[in-house]
Structure 1
Amino acid sequence: MASLPDVPYVYQFRLIIIGDSTVGKSSLLRQFTEGKYLEFSDPTVGVDFHAKIVKVDGDSPVKLQLWDTAGQERFRAITRSYYRNAVGGLLVYDITNKQSFENLTSWLSDASQSAEPHKLVFILVGHKADQDKNREVTKQEAMAFAADHDMNYIETSAKAMINIDQAFVLLAENIYNKVQTGAIKIQDGWDGVKRGTTKRGHRNNGVYEGGPRFIPSAGQKKGCCD
């Protein structure tokens, strides 16, 4: 991974990306960090690391440390070791694979138990949104799962470049707001959130206040679940 330029940032958030193998976690992350899409990629072995700086709260730069985890069961023990020092992440499933959606409960439970005493902030990501004609998981099912677990929901596609930046920025904004309100505290010996190299920027009006919501894909009309 190429090193980041020396850009000041307010906070550093350590994030994980979890979900079954083949749901497209690595493709999603590579499109976000490198602007590249590979039709075929080898499964992640253990974990892979990336980083990128995004703007939240209008103009506050935040550095995201992104840990791409393996989806295969045999790597679960390795993946668990990364939960404790994370502040949150993307919970990813494939909208054309119902089993990957049904397995989310297991992934979320595993992450929550391994992260204790910290509570991870997740958003639910339905990937491969460009394959809507092959959909096996409805938006209503996904929204219900997100509401039950107090997280946001967004659909993405690395191939069609749908909601890639939006997914990561949405998660970063949720965490940033919790840090600002004191719901998430910076602690010595914990890498989930660290202070950055510059002072906190000015807070703007219209900061998004948490709670489940659905982010429509490009061209979609807003509806009941916006």
Structure 2
Amino acid sequence: MREEDVETAIKVVVVGNGAVGKSSMIQRYCKGIFTKDYKKTIGVDFLERQIEVNNEDIRLMLWDTAGQEEFDAITKAYYRGAQACVLVFSTTDRQSFEAIESWKGKVEDECGDIPTVLVQNKIDLLEDAKVETEEADTLAKKLKLRFYRTSVKDNLNVDDVFRYLADKYLERVQAMVEEEPQTNQPKIGMFNTVTSNANSSTKKKEDNGTIQLSGPNKRRTHGKKNPLSMLGKCQLL
């Protein structure tokens, strides 16, 4: 199998309260479209986009999770195996801001420590802001997260959010590979090129209580690329 026939896939979950713009953000990033119409996500939606990082093809699998409490039991199951996370709150929704730490905890309970960013969406509506700039900055520092202010409507900083997560995760993987001692026990972030089944990106809890994650899914492309993917578009699966 040739190296160019292998593709890396990274699962990213986008979480936060309802109506903060999670679905719109993913639609904008994957399809380049924006709609003002709000449609509540029922459970989980999924889109993907292929990008290139350091001359390597990376497929970002973006999981759009419902923000309403009644869907918690469903969405938590889809957090498992995630390798990166976007925490989103809205400039015009105070409750969504106050819920961020809770959302972060839910993801960490299922995934452990994974690359995560904090996003304040709808900054084009600052005149209706319910969250002070200093408050958002303070929260980002408290949680020790990279912080982006975005406007999905104006397509401001949306690409930067996902590019950062891809870079951050691959940096972590490389660091872990370089530090890995000569043992048969894999550490968090190591590539698993032996198998590509559904368990290859799920978390494993060891006897000592530490959480380990396999690396990004690698799958064969047989030398064929989806022409839409190469254009940076996405497919709704």
Q: Distance in 1 between matches of 2:6 and 2:143?
A: 30
Unaligned ranges ≥5, structure 1:
1-6, 199-226
Instruction: Decide which structure has the larger Cα Rg and report it.
Output: 2
Q: What TM-score results when the alignment is normalised by the length of structure 1?
A: 0.77
Please tell me whether residue 29 in structure 1 is matched to residue 22 in structure 2.
no
- Would you say 1:151 and 2:138 are equivalent positions? no
Cα drift, residue 74 of structure 1: 0.3
Does the C-alpha gap of structure 1 residues 101 and 173 become closer, same or farther in structure 2, counting only changes over 3 Å? same
Which residue number in structure 2 is paired with residue 184 of structure 1?
189
Distance 1:132 1:44 in 2: 25
CA–CA distance in structure 2, aligned partners of residues 170 and 138 of structure 1: 25
The alpha-carbon deviation at position 21 of structure 1 amounts to 0.2
Kindly provide the amino acid, as one letter, of the partner of residue 195 in structure 1.
K
Aligned equivalent of 2:106: 110
Structure 2 unaligned regions, length at least 5: 177-187, 203-215, 222-237
More helix by proportion, 1 or 2? Answer: 2
Distance 2:191 2:76 in 1: 21
CA distance in structure 2 between the partners assigned to 1:8 and 1:34 by the alignment: 25
One-letter amino acid matched to 2:109: Q
1:138 and 1:176, CA in 2 relative to 1: closer, same or farther beyond 3 A? Answer: farther
Indicate the residue corresponding to 2:211 in structure 1: none
Structure 1 residue corresponding to 2:13, chosen from 16, 23, 27: 16
Identity in percent? 31
Partner of 1:50: 47
Residues 19 and 38 of structure 2 are in contact (CA less than 8 Å); yes or no, is this contact kept in structure 1? no
Structure 1 residues 35-65: Cα deviation after superposition (integer angstroms, max 9, x where no partner): 11111031000000000012224x3321100
- The alignment's C-alpha RMSD in Å is 2.0
Aligned-residue offset at 1:145: 1.7
More strand by share: 2
Aligned residues, how many?
A: 189
Question: Any conservation in 2 of the 1:49–1:66 contact (CA below 8 Å)?
Answer: yes
TM-score, normalised on structure 2? 0.74
Distance 1:73 1:184, change over 3 A: same
Alignment of 1:109-148 (within 5 A): 109-115=105-111, 118-148=112-142
Question: Aligned with 1:190: secondary structure?
Answer: helix
**Superposed CA offset, 1:189-209 (max 9, x none):** 2326213559xxxxxxxxxxx
Please identify runs of 4+ aligned residues in structure 1 that moved more than 4 A.
7-10
Q: Distance in 2 between matches of 1:170 and 1:9?
A: 22
